[in-house]
Every structure is written in C-alpha cells, then in structure tokens.
Amino acid sequence: MTFPSSPDSLLVIVPALNEEAAIGGVVAEIRQHVPGVPVLVIDDCSSDTTIAVARQAGAQVLPLPHHLGLGGCVQAGYKLAYELGFQYVIRVDGDGQHDARDIPRVFEKLKTTGCEMVIGSRFVADNGSRTGAVRSLGIRFFRLVLRPVLGKTVHDPTSGFVGVNRRALNVFRQSFPLEYPEIEALVVLQRRRFRFEEVPCKMRPRTTGRSTITALKSLYYVVHVLLGVFVNVLKFDRRLRRAQRERGAGG
C-alpha cells in the first residue's frame, strides 16, 4: 500500500481472529464493491490460515505479534492508516456479517455530512436484519444508557460496521478501548463534541464460526462496557472543567 494521494482517500480495515472460512469472501466482496480501495486485514494472531487466505484474496495484511483483543487490533489499523495519511477509514468485520454493498453509502455519508463517525446500523429502518434475543436485549439496554450520555439515540451502538474521518482517527490512534470497543468509542467521540450519523445496513447472520459475545459472557460485557462509559464520562468532564478553569484564570 503506497501513500494515498487523493484528498478523500479511503482505507477499509478488517479485524480478524481465526476467520479463515469467511475472510476470503469478505475481502473479495469488498474489492468488488469498492474497486481500487485498499483493504487491510489486521490479524490478531490467528491460529489458522487467516493471513494466507486474506493475502490470496488480494488484501494487505497487518499481523500482530501477539493477541491484543478486538480494540487493540482495530487501533493498530487506525494508527497505520493515520501514518499513511488516509482521510477515511471504514471498519468491516471479518466474519462476513456486514454487506460490502453498504460501504459506498457509509463513505458517502462521511464525505457529505463531514461528521466524524458513521455507523452502519441494523435498526435505523426495519430492514429485516435479525439478531439473537440476548444481543437485542443488550442493545436496547445500552440505547437507554447512552441516550442521556450522547444526547441522541444511537440505534445500533454495538455495530462493528463503522466509518471514521481523519479527525476521529487522530483521537482513536491515541485512545481506544481495548475490549468491546464500539460503545466506549462512541462516548470518547461525544465527549470531544464530535458528531456521528447512522446509516441503515443489512446485517447477515453468521455463517461460520461463532460470535465472541456469547450469552455467558454477556454479563461481563455489560458490566465492562458500563464501567468504560462511566470512566470516560468522568475523565473528559474533569478535563473539560480544568480547561475552563485555566481559560477563566487566563482571561
């Protein structure tokens, strides 16, 4: 991948952990629907042939030296994209659940609205996407929690189909949650007065492998993410107050 030259250069990143069965199709589909856009698969130390399959399908691969978890993996992609000078980065999951045909719409929304983040959302319009019972309960719960924090409803806060611009990249390369990053990342952005939009997308059921969010882990997930939201709100409010004090003292 060379340094991008166009002012609205796009990179598609795909975090992957043991996705050898799906990753080839995912990469091929992305290349088909957004031709000419580089695809970067970030491999979180898979024990299968994910790396080889991704290269075979025409993706660039960033292999991590050891397992970092989804957030650390995505952040590595953001860091590299920022260093290479990309203006926009769209993250697509490596399990084939996201439809690459939606990528151009997310990209358009990023460019036309100028907002920092665009979420591919499975709930904005009723588009026939189906979700498990535990998952939808969790999503509904976090929608309630996030409403007052974000000042706006986010329909699909756990979506991994997320596009960001360079301003958000600059924030995320410095601070990004390590585990279950999606919801916390939203709070990180909101605290900096950044804007996000949602675009309705189709979400396919998993065809291979298993979701990392199993019913058993969901309690851990909920507590973990709630704490993350709480910590981020406190952290930024304190920083904001300090900045206001300093401004008050200076002026």
Partner 1 sequence: MDRLLNVTTGLSVILLVMVLISVRRAHIRVEYSVSWLLAAAAMLILSRAHSLLNAVRNLIGLPDSPLTLFLLAGGVFLIMFFRFSIIISHLRDDNIALAQRVAILEYHLQNLRSHENQEA
Ligand X SMILES: Nc1nc2c(ncn2[C@@H]2O[C@H](COP(=O)(O)OP(=O)(O)O)[C@@H](O)[C@H]2O)c(=O)[nH]1
Residues 125 and 202: their CA atoms lie apart, in Å, by 10
How, if at all, do strands 162-165 and 88-91 pair?
Answer: antiparallel
Q: Does 229 bind partner 1 (CB under 8 A)?
A: no
Residues 22 and 81: their CA atoms lie apart, in Å, by 24
Complex with ligand X: residue 48 or 111, whichever CB lies closer: 48
Q: Which of 10, 11, 13, 19 binds ligand X (CB under 6 A)?
A: 19
Q: Does 18 bind Mg ion (CB under 5 A)?
A: no
Distance of CA 250 to the CA centre of its chain: 39
Q: Does 184 bind ligand X (CB under 6 A)?
A: no
Q: Does 29 bind Mg ion (CB under 5 A)?
A: no
Sign of CA dihedral 187, 190, 194, 200: positive
* Binding partner of residue 83 among ligand X, partner 1, Mg ion, none, CB cut-off 5 to 8 Å per kind: partner 1
Q: Does 76 bind partner 1 (CB under 8 A)?
A: yes
Per the CB < 8 A criterion, the answer to whether 144 and 181 are in contact is no
User: 86-105 mask for Mg ion (x: CB under 5 A)?
Assistant: -------x-x-x--------
Q: Does 55 bind partner 1 (CB under 8 A)?
A: no
Q: Does 75 bind partner 1 (CB under 8 A)?
A: yes
70-84 and 181-191 are packed helices; what angle lies between their axes, rounded to 10 degrees? 50
Long-range contacts of 107-110 (CB under 8 A, 24+ apart): 107/10, 107/34, 107/163, 109/163, 109/197, 109/199, 110/163, 110/164, 110/165
Q: Which residues would be at the binding site for ligand X (CB under 6 A)?
A: 15-17, 19, 44, 69-70, 73, 93-95, 97, 158, 160, 211-213
Q: Which residues would be at the binding site for partner 1 (CB under 8 A)?
A: 1, 60, 62-66, 68, 72, 75-76, 79-80, 83, 178
